[in-house]
Structure 1
Amino acid sequence: MQKVQLLTAREAADLINDDDVITVSSSSALGCPDSVLAGIGQRFTETSHPVNLTSVHPIAAGDMYGVKGIDHIARPGLLRKVIAGSYPSGPSSAEPPLIWQMIEREEVEAYNFPSGVIYQMHRTAAARQPGVFTQVGIDTFIDPRLQGGRMNTTTPAAHVETATVSGQEWLFFPSVIPNVAIIRATTADEYGNLTFEDEGSPLGALDLAYAAHNTGGVVIAQVKRLAEAGSLHPQHVKVPGILVDAVVIAEDQLQTTLTQNDPAISGQLRKPLSSLPHVAFSLEKITARRAAQELKAGEIVNLGFGVSALVPHILVEENQGREVSWVIEQGAVGGIPLLDFAFGCAQNPDAIMPSIDQFTLLQGGGFNRSLLSFLEIDRHGNVNVHHLPRKRHVTAGVGGFADITSSAPEIIFMGAFTAGRRDIDAGPNGLHIRSDGPFTKLVNDVSAVTFSGPRALARGQKVKYITERAVLELTAQGLVVTEIAPGIDLQKDVLDRSEFPLIVADELRTMDLALFGETPAGIHLSPLPLHERVEQRASSLAVR
């Protein structure tokens, strides 16, 4: 077996030609081959090449907290087009990431497509298939009859079209044919075999490598260390050396945004759950507690970034931390998903799957429910999670949201009822709104559709919206208020703060007062019996 070529990041950049399509495996800082991306930026500064690159990112590369990711190559002339499941986000008080500035100045074509679909576009390329037929994204901003995933006016309508197959409506995404795949692992041996022992997930490294290798492209792997040829255990090798053309050693690569190496993230050690940080009391914690009451012991539950990520930590505080099996799109199964910019990793996972395999579970609805955030909800039950109202650009983007919601049997959307500066007191007597946010999140029409309420109803999905002051359910008649917080005035604080009429349930309930105290709320998950689990999976077939 031939030894792999060892290059510096700057030397690896010379493998990229003008007009190439490069594909990058990362999830914010997790798995981000930052040194190689920096090498490309360095070469462009020195030589004005490569130019007119197309960069593909199933999940964002970089998050602006010390890891620059895509911003290393976000230069006019260097970057012509970006296809991404999500984009880096950063502190709201700082300048937007450079890639956002390029998008807003119309300096780059930019598409936002579902992460799972983008992974599958690589797998179909590797198998020399034309592309991906999927129902993920129908009737949302991804649908070409709406925005086609385009993020500015410079971006042409491309890369997604509608199709009818066997009488059913589908979206078709052509395969991605990369000239260069840039991936990251922990260790490479001298043959280029890659292991991921310090990583929170292998993400899509193998599929991106297959796509480039099988279509005549180049595979560049960034690693932390080099091992002797043949010394890696074959069952630990996730990307074989036959696919790898060059290796770049970056000894200082971070595991996550803030973590050099936490062995509890990579599965090398199990830490006591007591080591997790305490979740401070807040309105978001109240919302997360109420959502936790929806769960049953033994369920498989997906969750997304934001307030929903608090729910596993709420259960830890309630001594229920091991009762639910969490699945997140980056690949972790079980354990406790982490918060903030370590999200995408879990402490003490039971398994760490490649992202594309995790999306097979998620797109197929093989879980009980999903907990997700929202920015806006409208009269049709549509949800916007990717487009900031009153601003031109999107947030991190759709990511795996569309993949997950396409077939989830039950969905719980979580967020604040209003936006903007507000003064709301929470305590043992419930909520007291001194001054409310000036903007309601319940609007006549969302500014962009990330989730289609009418499609969910047609597919038989169960949908709830949980806020700090009210719980609502999606019905064919409209949104129904089923619960309100103690201390809340139904008319003034809920009905009048919606731009569209809400229906009030005949048996309107009051949310559990225990949710509003600083001590644990006494949440105890009842078990989901095996027969109910099987019946629920069978009934969810109608959603798929």
Structure 2
Amino acid sequence: MTVKFINSNQAAQLIPDNAIIALEGFLGSDVAEEMLRAIRSRFDKEGHPQGLDVWHASGIGDGISKGTNNLAAKGLLHRIVGGHWGLAPKLEPLVEKNDFEAYNFPQGVLSQIFRDSAAHKPIQVSQVGMGTFIDPDVSGGKLNDAAKQDDLVSKIKIHGKDYLAYEVPKPNVAILRGSFADEDGNITFDDEPLTLESTAIAMAAHNNGGKVFVQVKRVVKAGSMKPKDIRIPGLLVDYVVETHDEKMTMQSNTTQYNPDYVNQNVIEPADAIDVPLDAKKVIARRAAMFKKDTDEIVNYGIGKYPETVSLILKEEGSAENVTTTVEPGTFGGVPMGGGDFGCAIAPESTIDQPYMFDFYDGGGIDITFLGLAELDKHGNINVSKFGPKIAGTGGFVNITQNTPTVVFTGTFLAGGLREKVSGGKLEIVSEGKHEKLVDEVEQITFSGPVAYQNGQNIYYVTERAVFKLVKEGIELIEIAPGIDLQTDVLDHMAFKPIISDDLRYMDARIFEQGLMGDTKNNPGKKVQSRVNS
């Protein structure tokens, strides 16, 4: 087979109607943005390709117009099975109108499913998703009525134990982005911060008789690449799409080339970290106390509260025995946030995303710090759906179901909440308008009962109250000094939690200026306040 070198408009002409597409990308990293734009441009002019069935593991886009937002046109899609949806708000109205079938599966499941497709396995068997909205006993990961005509996940028993069986796609088109291609079609990822599941996707499309398109920024001479640098062998590649304007291409993606994301020899800034003392720091400080003094492998989720935990450990000098990981494949270094989430400055190593989720699913990390959007009386968490807004699960389900200690972090209420930390106490200046501790979450992204059954240690940390998962639900174990148990905590919950017989005030150092000295928890005196029945 001889690889063909074409431009993005020619590539778009070769995408057939009803194609089953395996699409690569993580936020703005490794996204074939020029190809996606060309596909949309062709559809707008010709009405083709139409009825596309798109599978992608991670959120792809900038939350405005890029990535999978390019696919937001009536008739262009038949189905999307995605691991994360929050970066493609233009798709939400089409989902609500049932213009195409919409599914949300765990990011890890989808990253691994392309390997199964390459090997012609009919299903992927996993316990990831049990007890959540992805469980077929709940909704089977379906996001709209249009999806109800197909069941893409079922439940089976193996050795008397329940597992989920995910249907494996047979893609006939792969859309990928690498850095360089040689004249034989070999692809390297020298300048890409991540490699994700690119090899598996190319192999899946090739082995299922499909075509593999790889967008690159430059073509180099045959024989100029080191064999071990080649992540996609040329025999798997049908078309190389060399971008016509490298500068424009870099600007079209959220994550731009940064040598610090692909090199180890970067010296971290020596400037002292000084996180302002506010509610965010209070949450992060208390959450950090669940980390043990021994060496630990840690995952930080996206969002200001988990990311601040990382800063606090550095500020307190407690990060030396921590190895950070991020789900798309980085170990070590300094994990990035915002549009560059998934990348790391000076990572120690970067592996393919499916292997990282093998590591996570097997319990490879010790503790994770994640966001807390909505919590109910069963200890369930929702971070994936709020009315018509579809955020999606991302790697949340894989990580929370397989990590021994999980710490959820977030404010107690939302919407206009203003607080002040002074004098070693927390003061509510303006209360939030929206309760986050509800009777039943809108969508179960994390199952408390399943976690308890699995023997995990689960904590929920807010600026004014700390809860622990127990058999009967969630137990209140600490409140902030300066907070009234009844009026500031219980009155803003849709249910009454179990209240620990040893309810304590949070460690006073959390609310004081300066360094704590260490992150070992020293809870305060026992709370004596009486509460209303």
Q: Partner residue of 2:400?
A: 405
Q: Partner residue of 1:29?
A: 28
Q: What is the rounded CA distance, in whole Å, between the counterparts of 1:394 and 1:426 in structure 2?
A: 34
Q: Partner residue of 2:123?
A: 131
2:147 alignment partner, SS class: coil
Q: Does 1:98 align with 2:90?
A: yes
| TM-fit CA distance, 1:412 | 0.8
CA pair 86-224 structure 1, distance change in 2 beyond 3 A: same
| TM-fit CA distance, 1:89 | 2.8
Q: Partner residue of 1:261?
A: 257
Q: Partner residue of 2:317?
A: 319
CA pair 142-485 structure 1, distance change in 2 beyond 3 A: same
Q: Does 1:466 align with 2:465?
A: no
Q: Partner residue of 1:5?
A: 4
| Corresponding residue pairs, total | 515
Q: Partner residue of 2:526?
A: none
Q: What is the rounded CA distance, in whole Å, between the counterparts of 2:375 and 2:291 in structure 1?
A: 23
Q: What is the rounded CA distance, in whole Å, between the counterparts of 2:520 and 2:190 in structure 1?
A: 34
Residues 20 and 52 of structure 1 are in contact (CA less than 8 Å); yes or no, is this contact kept in structure 2?
Answer: yes
Q: What is the rounded CA distance, in whole Å, between the counterparts of 1:524 and 1:88 in structure 2?
A: 34
Q: Partner residue of 2:524?
A: none
**Residues 200-223 of structure 1 deviation map (CA, whole Å, 9 limit, x = unaligned):** 210110111111011101111111
1:305 alignment partner, SS class: coil
Residues 27 and 61 of structure 1 are in contact (CA less than 8 Å); yes or no, is this contact kept in structure 2?
Answer: yes
**Which of residues 470, 481, 495 in structure 2 aligns to 1:500?**
495
Q: Partner residue of 1:189?
A: 182
Q: What is the rounded CA distance, in whole Å, between the counterparts of 2:274 and 2:335 in structure 1?
A: 14
**Residues 410-442 of structure 1 deviation map (CA, whole Å, 9 limit, x = unaligned):** 111111111211221123432101221122211
Q: Partner residue of 1:538?
A: none
Q: What is the rounded CA distance, in whole Å, between the counterparts of 1:289 and 1:53 in structure 2?
A: 47
**Which of residues 405, 409, 422 in structure 2 aligns to 1:427?**
422
2:428 alignment partner, SS class: strand
Q: What is the rounded CA distance, in whole Å, between the counterparts of 2:221 and 2:229 in structure 1?
A: 15
Q: Partner residue of 1:540?
A: none
Residues 122 and 168 of structure 2 are in contact (CA less than 8 Å); yes or no, is this contact kept in structure 1?
Answer: yes
Q: Which amino acid aligns with 1:481?
A: L
Q: What is the rounded CA distance, in whole Å, between the counterparts of 2:7 and 2:271 in structure 1?
A: 38
**Residues 17-38 of structure 1 deviation map (CA, whole Å, 9 limit, x = unaligned):** 0011111111111111111111
Counting only pairs closer than 5 Å after superposition, residues 110-259 of structure 1 correspond to structure 2 as: 110-156=102-148, 157-250=150-243, 251-252=246-247, 253-254=249-250, 258-259=254-255
Q: Partner residue of 1:452?
A: 447
1:320 alignment partner, SS class: coil
Q: Partner residue of 1:94?
A: none
**Residues 120-178 of structure 1 deviation map (CA, whole Å, 9 limit, x = unaligned):** 22111100111101111111100111111111122224211111122111111111111
| TM-fit CA distance, 1:258 | 4.8
Q: Partner residue of 1:360?
A: 358
Q: Partner residue of 1:300?
A: 297
TM-score (norm: length of structure 2): 0.92
Q: What is the rounded CA distance, in whole Å, between the counterparts of 1:386 and 1:477 in structure 2?
A: 24
1:169 alignment partner, SS class: strand
Residues 29 and 254 of structure 1 are in contact (CA less than 8 Å); yes or no, is this contact kept in structure 2?
Answer: no
**Residues 29-87 of structure 1 deviation map (CA, whole Å, 9 limit, x = unaligned):** 1111111111111111222111100111111121235x611111221111121000002
Q: What is the rounded CA distance, in whole Å, between the counterparts of 1:451 and 1:37 in structure 2?
A: 33
Q: Which amino acid aligns with 2:345?
A: Q
Q: What is the rounded CA distance, in whole Å, between the counterparts of 2:103 and 2:490 in structure 1?
A: 37
Q: What is the rounded CA distance, in whole Å, between the counterparts of 2:102 and 2:44 in structure 1?
A: 23
1:212 alignment partner, SS class: helix
Provide structure 1 residue ranges, at least 5 long, that are not aligned to the other structure. 91-96, 527-544
Q: Does 1:47 align with 2:46?
A: yes
CA pair 29-280 structure 1, distance change in 2 beyond 3 A: farther
Q: Partner residue of 1:542?
A: none
Q: Give RMSD over aligned pairs.
A: 2.0
| TM-fit CA distance, 1:386 | 0.6
Q: What is the rounded CA distance, in whole Å, between the counterparts of 2:364 and 2:256 in structure 1?
A: 34
TM-score (norm: length of structure 1): 0.90
